[in-house]
Amino acid sequence: MSEVILKNIKKVYPFSGGSGNKGLFGKVKKDTGGHRTGHLQMTDEGVVAVQEFNIDIKDKEFIVLVGPSGCGKSTTLRMIAGLEDITSGELYIDGKLCNDVDPKGRDIAMVFQSYALYPHLSVYDNIAFPLKISKVPKEEIDKKVREAAEILDITQYLDRKPKNLSGGQRQRVAIGRAIVRNPKVLLMDEPLSNLDAKLRNQMRSEIIKLRHRIDTTFIYVTHDQVEAMTLGDRIVVMKDGFVQQIGTPQEVFEHPRNLFVSGFIGTPTMNYFDARLEKREGKYHVITNGLDVVLSDDKQERLNANNVEDQDVILGVRPDHLQLCDNGIKAKVDVSELMGTSSHLHMTIDNKDVIVIVPTEGNAINYHGKQIQLTFSGAVANVFSKETEKNLEY
Amino acid sequence: MKNDAKREKTIAWIITIILTATSLAWVLPIVIVLINSFKDKGSIALETFKLPNADTFVGFLNYTNGVNMGNYSFWTCVYYSIVITVLSVGLILVCTSMSAWYISRVNSRFAKIVYALCTFSMIVPFQMVQFTLSSTASMLHLNTPYTIPVVYLGFGAGMAIFMFTGFVKQIPLEIEEAAVMDGCSPVQTFFKVVLPMLSPSLISVGILEAMWVWNDYLLPYLVLDITKYRTIPIHIQYLRGSYGQVDMGASMALIILALLPVVLVYIFCQKYIIKGVAAGAVKG
C-alpha cells in the first residue's frame, strides 16, 4: 500500500530571500522570485505558491498535476519529494505523516526534467547508485540493474557515460535509476519536456507500458495537457497555486469546473459564445446567436439541483462538438486547414475566434470563404457564469 | 575576397610572432638557469648568457655538487617540501571545495560573510601579516612541516574558495537533489557526486596551489624552525661554499631540480584541466 494524502497543503516563499527549499542544508538557493509571482497571492508572510491543496491519491494510482508555468505543480511535487518545506498542512505517505521526514526516509524516487544523471558515472553505475547508497549486496544490485535496463531497453548502453547517450536514452536511464529500488511512489517532473515531439510520443507510450509493469503510485507533473489526458487515472488542474479541478481525464474534458479548466484542457481550445440561459417549461435552454438548444437530461438535473436562475452566460463548446447544419449560427470561414482526417475551420463569431473540426471522411472540402451554419447538441454545451466563471453545473 | 584572405593570413602571422616572442621572454630566465646549470662556476658570472663550450661545460657536476653540498641533506629538504606541499594542497582542496559548496548552495548571511572574508583575504599582502603570523604559528606549534599546512590553508583558502565557488555554481542543483532523492546524506552527496564532478577544477586549483607552496620561500622561512626543517627554496638560499661563497652553479642546478616536478605535473595534468566533466549531465 502506498497511498499519498495531501491535506490542506500550503507553500509560502518568504520575501526575505530564504526560499525554504530544504535540499541538503535546510536553506538552499533557488530562483523563486520574479516571474513566479505573476498572479500568485502575496501575503505578509510572502508569496503563496500553493494553497488549499487536498487530494487522496490511492495506491498504484497515476495522478497527473497539470497547469501553466508557475501554477505550483512542481512545487507540490517537490513538497511530496521532501525537497521543499511544507509551510502548513499535512502530507501522509502510506499513512505516515511525512512533513518533517527527509527525502531518504520517504521511500520515493523522482525523475527530473533535466534527467539529472551523474556525469562521472556509467549508465550501470547511475542506475545502481541508489542501491549502492542503501548498501544492497552486489549480486542483488547487478540483478536489479539488469532487470531495470531490460524493462527500459538500455542494456546495450550500460557501459556508456551519460554524455554519449541521446536525450531519450538519458531519460530512460533517469527512469531506470528511479524504478530500480521499487519506491513506494514515483515522482516525475516534466520528464518528457526536453524531448522532441516524436520521441515524446514514443516515451509517453513507454511510460504507460512501464506503469503496467511496475506496480507503484505515480505522481506526474506536466504542462502538456495531452500527456495529462493520456497518462493520468486522474488529473489535477492547477492555476496560480490553487487546485482548479481534480477528476478523470474524461470528467475534466467533458465537465470542466470553470472557464480556465475548459480552456486549458483540450486541443484546439474550447470555443466560447455569449449566450443566455433560460428555464422554460421546466427545461433549461441555452440561446446564442439565434440558436436555441435544450440541454441534456443530466445537465438539466445538475442545473436544477443548483437551482440556477435565468442569466447571461458564457457558453463553451469544443471544436469537435460543433456540427455543420442548415439552420444554426451563421459564420464565414476565414481559414480552412486540412489536417488529413479532418479540417479545422477558423472563423470569428461575436468578435471571438471559433474553431470547428469537421471530419473529411475521405472527401476533403476547402471551406475557405464559405458561409456555414453551426449547431451543437445539448449534451456537449457547458454553461459558465459570467461573474464567477464557474461551470453552473457545479 | 582574395585580399581579405591575405589580410587574415598576415594578421595571423603577426599574432604568432608576438605570441612567440612573449613566450620566449617568459621561458628565457628558465632557459638561462638551465644553461648555466651545466657551466662551471667562473663562467656563470662572466658569460651568463652564453651557451657552454668545451671549456665551460661541466656536465652534471653542478647537480652532484648541489645535492651533496652544505651541512643539511638535500634529500631531507625534498622530503619536507613534498610533505608540506602534499599535506597543504590536500588540506586546501578538501576544506575549500567543501566550503565553496556550502557558500554556493546556502542562502544565509553567514555564507555571504564567509565568502566576502575569503575574497578579502586575497588582497591582503603576506608582508602585512608575516611577523604576527610567525609568532602566532610558533605559539600554536605550527612551525613543523606537519603542521605548517594549516597556515597554508589560511593563505590559500581565499583564491581556492573563489575559484571553487564559480565551479560549483555550474553544477546543476538538480543533480544534487537527485542524490538526495537516491538517499545520500550531505557528506555522501559531496564525496560521491559533487567532488567527482569538481575534478577538473580540483586539478587546476591543485596545480596552482602546489606551484605556490612548492616554490614558496618566505612563509616557511619565517614559520619553520630552520635549524631543523628546510624546504628546497630555503636550502638553495643556504647553499654556500666553504668560505661562505655562494656556489651559483649548484644553485642553478638545484633550481632546475626543484622546477622539474612542477613542470612534469603541469604537463601531465593539462588534459584534465581542459576536460569538461559535466558534459551530458543535464539537457542540452
Measured in angstroms, the CA of A187 and the nearest CA of chain B are apart by 10
- Is A35 part of the contact surface with chain B (CB cutoff 8 Å)? no
Based on the structure, what is the number of domains in chain A? 2
pLDDT digits (tens, 9 = 90+) for B34-56: 998 888 877 887 888 888 888 78
B281: nearest Cα among A220, A181, A30, A173: A173
Q: How confident is the model at residue A308 (pLDDT cuts 50, 70, 90)?
A: confident
Q: Are residues A93 and A220 in the same domain?
A: yes
CA pair distance B97, B201, nearest whole angstrom: 9
Q: How far apart are the first and last CA of chain B?
A: 37
- Is A14 part of the contact surface with chain B (CB cutoff 8 Å)? no
Chain A residues whose CB is inside 8 A of the B283 CB are: 113-115, 167, 194
pLDDT digits (tens, 9 = 90+) for A217-251: 999 999 888 888 888 899 999 988 888 999 999 98
Kind plus residue range of the DSSP H or E element containing B99: helix B74-105
Residue A113 lies in a domain: no
- Is B277 part of the contact surface with chain A (CB cutoff 8 Å)? yes
| Cross-chain residue pair A161–B193, CB shorter than 8 Å | no
Mean pLDDT calculated for residue range B195-208: 86
CA-nearest residue of chain A to B275?
A: A120
Q: Give the model's pLDDT for residue B241.
A: 54
Residue A170 lies in a domain: no
Which of A224, A259, A294 is at the close of a domain?
A259
CA-nearest residue of chain A to B283?
A: A114
Surface-to-core class of residue B144, CB atoms within 10 Å of its CB (0-12 exposed, 13-18 middle, 19+ buried): middle
| Cross-chain residue pair A167–B283, CB shorter than 8 Å | yes
Q: Are residues A220 and A364 in the same domain?
A: no
* List of residues 6+ apart from A347 with CB closer than 8 A: A331, A332, A333, A334, A353, A354, A356, A372
Structural domains of chain B, with CATH = 2-65 (no CATH), 71-238 (1.10.3720.10)
CATH of the domain at A101: 3.40.50.300
Residue A133 lies in a domain: no
Q: Give the model's pLDDT for residue A30.
A: 46
Q: How confident is the model at residue B283 (pLDDT cuts 50, 70, 90)?
A: very low
Which of A202, A225, A259 is at the close of a domain?
A259
CATH of the domain at A293: 2.40.50.140
Q: Give the model's pLDDT for residue B48.
A: 81
Which of A238, A259, A280 is at the close of a domain?
A259
Residue A337 lies in a domain: yes
> What is the value of pTM for the model shown?
0.79
* List of residues 6+ apart from A197 with CB closer than 8 A: none
Q: Are residues A217 and A353 in the same domain?
A: no
Q: What is the dihedral of CA A304, A306, A311, A314, to 10 degrees?
A: -100
CA pair distance A313, A351, nearest whole angstrom: 16
Judged by phi (left if over 0) then psi (alpha if -120 to 50, else beta), residue B98 lies in alpha
**Residue in B105, B188, B199 nearest the CB of A28:** B105
Chain B residues whose CB is inside 8 A of the A118 CB are: 175, 178-179, 193, 196-197, 281
| Cross-chain residue pair B105–A25, CB shorter than 8 Å | yes
The mean pLDDT of chain A is 85
- Is A165 part of the contact surface with chain B (CB cutoff 8 Å)? yes
Residue A148 lies in a domain: no
CA pair distance B44, B54, nearest whole angstrom: 14
Measured in angstroms, the CA of B93 and the nearest CA of chain A are apart by 19
Q: How confident is the model at residue A210 (pLDDT cuts 50, 70, 90)?
A: confident
* ipTM here: 0.81
Residue the block writes with cell 666553504: B242
**Residue in B172, B181, B280 nearest the CB of A103:** B181
Q: Are residues A290 and A374 in the same domain?
A: yes
The mean pLDDT of chain B is 85
Q: Are residues A215 and A363 in the same domain?
A: no
Range of the domain at A293: 268-385
CB contacts under 8 A, B 82-111 vs A, are 102, 104-108
- Is B191 part of the contact surface with chain A (CB cutoff 8 Å)? no
Residue A73 lies in a domain: yes
Measured in angstroms, the CA of B277 and the nearest CA of chain A are apart by 7
Q: How confident is the model at residue B1 (pLDDT cuts 50, 70, 90)?
A: low
Alpha carbons within 13 A on the beta-carbon side of A96: 11
Q: Are residues A91 and A225 in the same domain?
A: yes
- Is B184 part of the contact surface with chain A (CB cutoff 8 Å)? yes
In order, the DSSP letters of B117-151 are HHHHHTTS-HHHHHHHHHHHHHHTT--STTTHHHH
CA-nearest residue of chain A to B185?
A: A24
Residue A64 lies in a domain: yes
Cα-based distances in Å from A166 to A176, B36, B134, B281: 15, 57, 57, 11
